[in-house]
Amino acid sequence: MPIALRDPELLAAALTDLGYAAVETHARPQPLYGQLTGAARAEVIVRGRHAGAGRDDLGFLRRPDSTHALVVSGRDRSRFDRRWLARVTRAYGCAVVQHFARGHGYQVSPGAPLPGGARRLVLRPRD
């Protein structure tokens, strides 16, 4: 079962881990700018100037089930595709583990990289 992107702060941490320096989180959906049709809005936003040269804003909108869905313009869809979303999901999973570990007295150290871009994390009790 795929990881559901539920926590906006951890989603922002995952995007930051992937190199997006400025990630906005909002309690209510905010407008996205660029080539998006209609009144596209999202709670977690990477503005176009931080998403890459010539990119539109991209965001994640909270659904009724509290998961977040990617909102991206048609012209950027080839860049922010399923493979990119899989990378975000893996980074989100790491952020969830790190958040849990900190809250439960563990330290996290990265282990050896695994095939397919996965990461192994090692949790050890703090001294």
The full DSSP string for 8-49 is HHHHHHHHHHTT-S--EEEEEEEE--SS--S--EEEEEE-HH
Domain boundaries, the chain: 8-125
Q: What is the mean pLDDT of the chain?
A: 89
Angle between helices 82-103 and 8-17 (to 10 degrees): 110
DSSP type of residue 88:
H
Tens of pLDDT, residue by residue over 102-120, are 999 999 887 777 777 777 8
Q: What's the number of CA atoms in the CB half-sphere (13 Å) around residue 114? A: 7
pLDDT (average), residues 86-108: 92
Residue 64 has pLDDT above 70, yes or no: yes
pLDDT of residue 3: 81
Judge whether residue 2 has pLDDT over 70: no
Q: How confident is the model at residue 37 (pLDDT cuts 50, 70, 90)?
A: low
Q: Taking the CA atoms of the chain, what radius of gyration do you get in angstroms?
A: 16
In this predicted model, what pLDDT tens digit does every residue of 12-31 receive, in sequence order? 999 999 999 899 999 999 99
List of residues 6+ apart from 57 with CB closer than 8 A: 32, 33, 34, 36, 42, 45, 46, 47, 48, 51, 73
